[in-house]
Amino acid sequence: MSENQALFTILRQSADPEAVDVIERLVREAPDHELNRINVLLLAAKEGLDEERLIAAFLHAARLGLFELSWNVLCPGCGGVLDAGTSLKTVHHESYNCALCGAGYEPTLDEMVEVTFTISPRVRRIAAHEPDSLPMWDYARQFFWGSGVDLPDNFEEIMEDIVLDSIELPAGERASLSLQLPADFIIVFEPITHGAQFIDVKGEPTRERQNLSIVYDDKHAQHDTVELRPGPLRLSLENRTSKRVLPAVWIANDKLHDMLGRRRPFLTAKRLLSNQTFRDIYRTDTLDIDQRLKITSLTFLFTDLKGSTELYERVGDLVAYDLVREHFRVLNEIVASEGGAVVKTIGDAVMATFPTPDHALAAALRMREAMRELNEQRGQEDLLLKIGIHEGPCLAVMLNDRQDYFGQTVNIASRVQNLAVSRSIFATSAVIEDPQASHLIAAQNLHPTQKLTALRGINDAFSVYEIP
């Protein structure tokens, strides 16, 4: 048995067999470019697989060394990869600048950090393992743009219409390009150093040759905009870096904007942090103690058992312990199956996160039904669950050697749960008014009741809904 076969045999012991079959076939048969920075959500849709099962399978495969994770900071404007690392710990800048868009962005884990998987070179060598050997447009497709940009099949043909000229310039060398500038906004963009020179071409056309010089170094500098007239240009280029550079002269026209406007879903860092398999496998190896990464929208679900102290007195410690442990097992399974993750348990309480409100609400409804079934099996009302849900912004942090969350959203979710009585689900308007959550409520013929209440730390009366 080969080493790869042995690894896949081990993988089948911990991951969904159908998902493993897809991954094994991909490794064996896919062309090189499909094994670099794999978009798991795109692959799941293509193969008709459950996203969560395929994500879990790739995470287990990465842990075995079949794949390497890449955490890529993306530009919200053009979808370009501004930085890439093997861990979320590498996302440590307060802002990231995109030379192509000429804008800076504060990183958030919702849409600005993607997680992709690349085949390990020990499993199969692909061209992307040596990026400097890739042709210009293969490099742009496989490394500059993130997996959420839906580049068309005729990408290179479109680039011929967008790009006036381009060149591969080895380290330490110089070159010049002779161009005819149209009356458009021009960007001389280089994807390896992320260097850009903007040229605003306007005014009366000229027959006199204009000159412009650009030097590439390791400072990732973005040059100021220069004004030139339509007509001939001699563009002098010098590469002072230790690697090749790939400058190209782009026309910032509608074709470019239309191409970059084509987007598709991708696996975000936010979603992965709320994935139970990821939390189980990677545990504390996620963030540095001093990192504070913003998430613009995350849904928190808190549960607690009503009367757990009385339960221990009524049935005894051993029986109560087994009951509470079974309750935790059931809740964990439901959270994971709904694409969420248990962040921590506090006594008999659970704190869990979900990427979207509808999954949290679906989990809450299933939890309530599961507790009802457990009680029916025992013939006693021993497990009475109180649930609170809230959605909003927060910070991803490290607390007590655990990847955790901090902020007012977390506080509100906890206090909303404290309002709940046994068997009730309390949710805020941010959850109830979510379109997908509203659809779920209507589909189950539920009728939430609005209540105005006071929450500690909130000055104004707060609106919550009880879901019967």
In this predicted model, what pLDDT tens digit does every residue of 215-224 receive, in sequence order? Answer: 999 876 667 8
Q: Running DSSP on this structure, what letter comes out for residue 30? A: S
Percent of the chain at pLDDT > 90 equals 74
Residues 332 and 325: their CA atoms lie apart, in Å, by: 11
- Looking at residue 378, what is its pLDDT? 73
3-state secondary structure of 362: helix
- Looking at residue 322, what is its pLDDT? 78
Q: Which of 224-228, 324-328, 369-373 has the lowest mean pLDDT?
A: 324-328
Query: Is residue 360 within 8 Å of residue 389, measured between CB atoms?
Result: yes
- Looking at residue 317, what is its pLDDT? 67
Q: Which residue has the higher pLDDT, 212 or 459?
A: 212
Pairing mode of beta strands 113-119, 67-74 = antiparallel
Mean per-residue pLDDT, 129-148: 95
Average pLDDT, the chain: 91
- Token reading at 131: 């990026």
Query: Burial level of 311, CB count in 10 A (0-12/13-18/19+)?
Result: buried
pLDDT beyond 70 at 312:
no
Q: Which of 138-152, 337-351, 357-371, 409-423 has the lowest mean pLDDT?
A: 409-423
- Please, which pLDDT band fits residue 375 given cuts at 50, 70 and 90? confident
Strand partners, 74: 81
Instruction: Return the residue matching tokens 């504070």.
Output: 292
Percent of the chain at pLDDT > 70 equals 95
- Looking at residue 10, what is its pLDDT? 95
Which helix (H) or strand (E) covers residue 312, if one does?
Answer: helix 308-315
pLDDT tens-digit map of 49-104: 999 999 999 999 999 999 999 999 999 999 999 999 999 999 989 899 998 898 89
Query: Is residue 28 within 8 Å of residue 2, measured between CB atoms?
Result: no
Residues 45 and 164: their CA atoms lie apart, in Å, by: 36
Q: Which of 300-314, 358-372, 394-408 has the lowest mean pLDDT?
A: 300-314
Query: Is residue 402 within 8 Å of residue 311, measured between CB atoms?
Result: no
Q: Which of 30-34, 40-44, 50-54, 322-326 has the lowest mean pLDDT?
A: 322-326
* Exposure b/e, 395-419, CB count within 10 A at least 16 = b: bbbbeeeebbbebebbbbbbbbbeb
Residues 162 and 257: their CA atoms lie apart, in Å, by: 10
Show the CA angle centred on residue 466, arms to residues 461 and 468, nearest 5°. Answer: 165
Q: At residue 144, what is the residue type?
A: F
- Looking at residue 342, what is its pLDDT? 96
| Nearest residue to 187 via CA among 247, 127, 108 | 247
- Looking at residue 313, what is its pLDDT? 67
Pairing mode of beta strands 210-216, 113-119 = unpaired
Residues 281 and 20: their CA atoms lie apart, in Å, by: 17
Mean per-residue pLDDT, 314-342: 86
- Looking at residue 401, what is its pLDDT? 79
Query: Is residue 66 within 8 Å of residue 81, measured between CB atoms?
Result: no
